[in-house]
Amino acid sequence: MDEAPKTLIELRQVAKSYSGVEVLHDVDLMLRDGEFMTVLGPSGSGKTTILRIIGGLVRPTSGAVLLDGTDISAMPINRRPFNTVFQDYALFPHMTVEANVGYGLKVRGEQKARIRERVIETLRLVALEEYAARYPSQLSGGQQQRVALARALICEPRLILLDEPLGALDAELRRQMQRFLKRLQKEIRTTFLFVTHDQEEAVTIADRICVMNNGQIEQIGSPEEVYYRPANEYVARFFGDNNLIDIAIGSLGNGYREVTSKLGTFRCAIGNRPGLAEVTAGRPGKLLVRPEAIAIGSAGDGAQNRLRVRVEDMSFVGPVSQVLARPLAEPERALMIKLASRASGIPLAVGDEAEVGFSAEECHVVTT
Amino acid sequence: MTAVRVAARGEDERHVGYRLVITLLAYALPVVFILLPLILFLIQSFYYVDHGDIVRELTLRNYERFFTGRAFLPVFIKTCWLCLGVAAITVLFGYPVAYLLASLEGRRKYVMMVIFVIPLMMSYIIKIYAIRAILGGNGFLNRILLFFGIIDQPLTFLIFNLQAVLLTLSVILLPFAMLPIFIALERIPRSLIDASFDLGASSFQTFRDVIWPLSLQGTIVGATFTFVLALGDFITPQMVGGTSGFTFGRIIYSQFGFAFNWPFGAALSVILLAVVLVAIVGTGLLARTRHQL
């Protein structure tokens, strides 16, 4: 763990156009050996194209794909040491589970006995060893999913590409598979590149997230980074119900930067965003405050940033209660506040006026 | 409100009547036009002819004649072999063409398919004449060969024999083999082929292990089509078969057209039908697999 992680895959200025329409614009991406990266973005953001370019199913219009520093752009798909778990699983319907899983070894000319041994081993890994003789159509969606995974794993690839593999599963099974994939990935220490449009899934499962939009990478970072310190407004909006407040950058204080808005003047800790100290004053931007970072009433007493609000709506959503409040200074702007739910309830009522606060450390600024 | 409801109910009742008529037709039409004639045919095959008159007494003598007669069984077996040959040739040539079509992209695929299917819209008789014009003694092929001095006199083995029947039937029936194969190839999801390559397979391995098994069903259907169609054909052998290209279809035809022995012709037809049914059911069982696409 001491040495810096090796780069497995590198994309250099990779672009892809389909009949003149560019779906991927000069993307640079480094994939570390052994990491679990999710590529997150809405449909049409180019995330699947990246996956297919790395896998070799799609040839980039320009740019290079490097494996261990060597250009593999021209390497045909069947020579690349990567395997894909397809969105529709793409199991061979005319082969048993055993034949499906063993396919990758069979085409490499492995001995039958050896293939059988490895198939059983791999099926055990995905807890399907009893299903070897079944056909894919006799399996449930979740089981088919694991067969597809086993079929990719058995080839011992350097990288496993997963194209929205959990999209067709129901919520509970999805969560189970997420945990399973994460555990498995740590166990076999193979690099995973996982494409999804589900931000919760991306955050749950990944070591690093690559957020994509319109064929470009918006941000690459750990789940905490993209969640708490989004690089721009797009990423900030993509991750849930952030409060985004229009601001102008103000004066520099000791360890904080002042920002002004219609709601008042707030302080934002510089530690959260390197470079915030250097931004020229007067520049417009957005102040980002997560709903769970806002405290109500006396709980927010110590916070540097305070404002008075009127409670407009409250709703109980299980572990948290959501409070919708409007600042007295700017009733047009609604603030979302999330409080931990308590059996005793929230000591607030709709229509109440209250004082809320959030600390400078919980603030994040993106410039626009 | 009430008026509306009454009107709606009236409409409902009319719909019920309408549906009843449609349902009746759906069952009645095949019964009247397909099943009934077949049954009449079957009954006819047990009658016999005496001095030019059909005697309506049930007898097995027609079937007996088929099995004991000198000419019938050998011609029948020869015809079956011929039609198996047609099935084999049409699949052999139809498969690569279908494969090529299926691998084309976008509009080109369908334009090409129409080009290959256009011969189906041409009159069958015209196609036979065209082939005769090519293969005949004074035909296109012979003239070219003569012109270039490759031969001194016209080749006569090109036409009016069994090989000519085989060739002509194969040419005419080729689209019937090609289409089911094309459809089967089209139905293979692209991702299966991608997956095969992704797992390291070569093009040949992908074809052998994925594409071929998944298109086998369509190939069997195509072969059955051409086999069955060739088996029932009597015009092609008549026109390009000459005396040596005598097939079972021609024998049946002659029972109706020349010998005026309808019951015997009916019996021979029933035998042919039985073989066709066996072929269809047999290949259907063969093509049935445990998977579903």
d(CA B219, CA B212): 9
Question: Which is it for strands A264-269 and A256-261: parallel, antiparallel or unpaired?
Answer: antiparallel
Helices (H) and strands (E) in chain B, counts: 14, 2
Residues in B touching A84 (Cβ below 8 Å): 194-195, 198
For residue A256, give the H/E element and its range. Answer: strand A256-261
Q: How many CB atoms lie within 10 A of CB B250?
A: 21
Q: Is the dihedral angle over the CA atoms B207, B211, B214, B216 positive or is it negative?
A: negative
pLDDT tens for B200-227 read 999 999 999 999 999 999 999 999 999 9
Do A93 and B198 lie within an 8 Å CB cutoff?
A: no
Instruction: Please compute, for residue A295, the number of CA atoms within 13 A of its CA located in the half-sphere on the CB side.
Output: 15
Of A77, A92, A108, the CB nearest to B198: A77
| Residue B159: predicted pLDDT | 84
Q: What is the pLDDT of residues A148-157, one digit of tens each?
A: 999 999 999 9
Does A83 touch chain B if contact means CB atoms closer than 8 Å?
Answer: yes
Distance from CA of A189 to the nearest CA of B (A): 20
Checking if the pLDDT of B5 tops 60, the result is: no
Collect all residues of chain B within an 8 Å Cβ-Cβ radius of residue A104: 199-200
| pTM of this structure | 0.83
The size of the A-B interface in CB pairs under 8 A is 75
**A40: distance to nearest CA of chain B, Å?**
22
Contact yes or no for B194 and A92 at CB 8 A: no
The predicted structure's pLDDT at residue B181? 96
CB B62 within 8 A of CB B264: yes
Task: Please tell me which of the candidates B194, B200, B292 has its beta carbon nearest to residue A137.
Answer: B292
- CB within 8 Å: B291 and A135: yes
Q: Which residues of A touch B291 (CB under 8 A)?
A: 93-94, 135-137
d(CA B267, CA A228): 87
Contact A96, A133 (CB under 8 A): yes
- The C-alpha R_g of chain B, in whole angstroms, comes to 25
Domains and CATH numbers, chain B: 73-292 (1.10.3720.10)
Residue A300 vs residues A163, A303, A320, B27, B188: alpha-carbon distances, Å = 44, 6, 17, 80, 62
- Confidence band for B290, pLDDT divided at 50, 70 and 90: very low
The more confidently predicted of residues B291 and A264 is A264
Question: Within chain A, which residues score under 70 in pLDDT?
Answer: 1-4, 299-300
Looking at residue A214, its pLDDT comes to 93
**Predicted local distance difference test score (pLDDT) of residue B118:** 86
Q: Which of B194, B206, B266, B279 minimizes the C-alpha distance to A84?
A: B194
Contact at CB, A107 and B290, closer than 8 angstroms: no
Asked if B290 lies within 8 A of A135 by C-beta distance, the reply is yes
Q: How confident is the model at residue B10 (pLDDT cuts 50, 70, 90)?
A: low
* Residue B254 vs residue B52, higher pLDDT: B254
Report pLDDT for A17: 93
Give the pLDDT score at B1. Answer: 47
Contact at 8 Å (CB) between B93 and B179?
no
The CA distance from B155 to B142, in Å, is: 6
Residue range B136-186, pLDDT digits in tens: 888 888 889 898 988 888 888 888 888 899 999 999 999 999 999 999 999
Give CA–CA dist B68/B87, Å, rounded: 29
3-state secondary structure B246-270: CCHHHHHHHHHHCCCCHHHHHHHHH
Nearest CA in chain A to B216: A94
